[in-house]
Amino acid sequence: MKDGVWGGLMIAFLFVAATLANAFVLMQLWGWFIAPLGVIEIGMAHAWGISALVHMLTDHNCKTDIEGGFWVAIVKTVFAPIVVLLLGYIAFAIM
């Protein structure tokens, strides 16, 4: 296979992994902070849908010339959900 095909497959895999990671983090945070208020817990499918809806309705101010390049954007996309989950867990642990 050509390098372009592998790059496209890698981007597609990272996109799916990032959206699933965001949905998992939303589901966990919902369970920790929203469900105790009396709202029903949500599963991965609902979290994925809510995440997609919020992404669609918010302005991300995407730039084509990302400072630091393509790989910095990939690292930010992959590690952002991990950092948010860690901070949420810390807040949940001290509640």
Q: Give the pLDDT of residue 17.
A: 85
Per the structure, the complete domain to which residue 59 belongs is given by: 3-93
pTM of the model: 0.79
Walk along the chain (95 residues) and give the pLDDT tens digit of each residue.
566 777 778 778 888 888 899 999 999 999 999 999 999 999 999 999 999 898 889 866 666 555 667 777 777 777 889 999 999 999 999 98
Do 20 and 48 meet the contact criterion of CB atoms below 8 Å apart? Answer: yes
The count of structural domains within the chain is: 1
Give the span between the Cα atoms of 95 and 90, in whole angstroms: 9
Taking CA atoms, 26 is separated from 22, 36, 40, 49, 60, in Å, by: 6, 15, 14, 10, 18
